[in-house]
Amino acid sequence: MPGPSGAADGGKLEQREDLTAETDSFLKQAEDLLASSPTNLPEALTLLASIEKRLRMGNDTPNLVRVCEASVQHCHDAKDEERLIVTLNNLTTRRSQKSKAIGAMVAKAIAWVLISGDGKGYIPIAVETEEQKEILTKLVVALRDITDGKLFLEAERARLTRALAIIKEQEGDIPGAADILQEVHVETYGSLSKREKIEFILEQMRLTLGKKDFVRAAIVGNKINRKALHEEGMEAEKIKFFSLMAEYHRHEKDALELAKDYHAIYLTSTVQAVEEQWFEALRATVLFLTLSPYSSDQVDLLNRIKADSNLEKLEACSNAITLLLTKEIASYPIMHQDEMETWNAFREGGDDLAMHWKKTFHTRIIQHNIRVVACYYKRIHGKRLSLLLGLTPAEVEKEVAGMVSNGDVYAKIDRPSDIFRFKQEKSPETILSSFAQDVSTLLNLVETTSHLIQKENMVQ
């Protein structure tokens, strides 16, 4: 006979009894009891419980699954949801209960609370009354508790968690829905497909952003592998991810990352196929590139967009790209700026954020002009620089000092003489070292040339 753990004595394989005949008899008796009167449900469940124990101890798993499924089915048919939950808890927590039996009961019960098929097996079924909703919630919670810690039910637990989060969100409890989803670290689940994992994490991001927890949203976003989003068939998930990241970066007022987010959306094949969609994405990309601080990433993205044939269809964007890549003084406001400030990407986030972008617009043009001046002038009078930039001397000094602090330009300000120096003067030691290096290079070239001439003479 099997030991307490279900294993046979001496480490031998478990012995299995075939109790099919007895199982058929007990199932028939339970059905007859319920057919005579639905109030006989407790007696039918007691009858099935007696054979369930024999099947479990006898390792007759196929018949055990039949009895367990019949027990929960009878409770559901009788519409006794309270007894259904109790029966599920009792059967799944029995000593040495078989994983196949637990899995079968959970699978059967999930079909009563979630919509199946079409890859949306996490959506709760529709209910009409508050009482039905309460029963549905209790059953979802009970099934989540049953699946907790069971590796063979990872996928089911993830779907039930999403369903419970949806129920909470429908009740208006977004923080509660976000907290429920955060309990599940779906990225560690091996039984879920790549798409299901990404969808789950995207839902975590959406709800976390919904409760304004931007720090956690960024952490959750880093769990998604960017390479997976660029795979074929993942276009919808890619667009949703970068749209959520744009919401986060808009809160952080990070214009360059916003430009990257919208550019990733623009490059999606499904967006490229619809003119209205790529039109909006490309406009937003150029807008936030214009608002981005000068950097190698910004210049690289500017040049890539400049080579895009679609840019010719957007005059405002084309002019903005040309302005940023041309080393010429630009006037403020720039051409088409009024139009750009009416775009959805500029207005999204409220009036306060729009005002911030408007101020940033001016700042970026000033910084562009200072870099242009630094390219062409070794030194310049402050009065002349103020005239070129269209700013007061105090504003000029403030902007130049800020760019020097950020490492964008080199500058020295001689206030008594009102002179700005943009070229670093070399010390005598530096000049001498450079001269010595040039002489050394010249001597090496002479020696190499002499060697080649001698080699050619020897060949002849």
Q: How many residues does the chain have?
A: 460
Q: How many angstroms separate the CA atoms of 440 and 341, rounded? A: 57
Instruction: Measure CA 119 to chain center.
Output: 20
Q: 214: which 2 tokens?
A: 């931007």
pLDDT, tens digit, 9 for 90 and up, residues 106-116: 999 998 988 87
Give the alpha-carbon dihedral of 109, 113, 117, 119, to 10 degrees: -110
In contact, 150 and 99? CB cutoff 8 Å: yes
- Tell me the β-bridge partners of 2: 8
- DSSP, collapsed to helix, strand or coil, labels residue 261 as helix
Q: How many angstroms separate the CA atoms of 269 and 282, rounded? A: 14
Q: 457: which 2 tokens?
A: 């003479």
- DSSP, collapsed to helix, strand or coil, labels residue 2 as strand
Q: How many angstroms separate the CA atoms of 248 and 202, rounded? A: 13
Q: How many angstroms separate the CA atoms of 160 and 179, rounded? A: 14
Q: Which domains, from first to last, does the chain contain? A: 14-112 (no CATH), 377-450 (1.10.10.10)
Q: 79: which 2 tokens?
A: 């519409």
**DSSP label at 329?**
-
Q: How many angstroms separate the CA atoms of 70 and 173, rounded? A: 36
Q: How many angstroms separate the CA atoms of 336 and 74, rounded? A: 71
Burial of 305 (0-12, 13-18, 19+ CB in 10 A): buried
Ranges of residues in the chain with a pLDDT under 70 are: 1-14, 117-121, 460
At 1 the pLDDT is 39
For the sheet with 412-414, list strands across it: 379-381, 419-421, 412-414
Q: 374: which 2 tokens?
A: 């630094």
Q: What are the CA-CA distances from residue 221 to residues 96, 212, 226, 415 (Å)? A: 40, 14, 10, 49
At 424 the pLDDT is 78
b/e per residue 238-261 (b: at least 16 CB within 10 A): bbbbbbbbbbbbbeeebbbbbbbb
At 120 the pLDDT is 64
Handedness of CA 74, 77, 83, 85 (dihedral sign): positive
Q: How many angstroms separate the CA atoms of 60 and 255, rounded? A: 64
Instruction: Measure CA 352 to chain center.
Output: 26
Q: How many angstroms separate the CA atoms of 214 and 145, rounded? A: 29
In contact, 218 and 247? CB cutoff 8 Å: no
pLDDT, tens digit, 9 for 90 and up, residues 397-416: 999 999 999 888 999 998 89
Burial of 57 (0-12, 13-18, 19+ CB in 10 A): middle
In contact, 194 and 227? CB cutoff 8 Å: no
pLDDT, tens digit, 9 for 90 and up, residues 346-380: 999 889 999 999 999 999 999 999 999 999 999 99
At 320 the pLDDT is 93
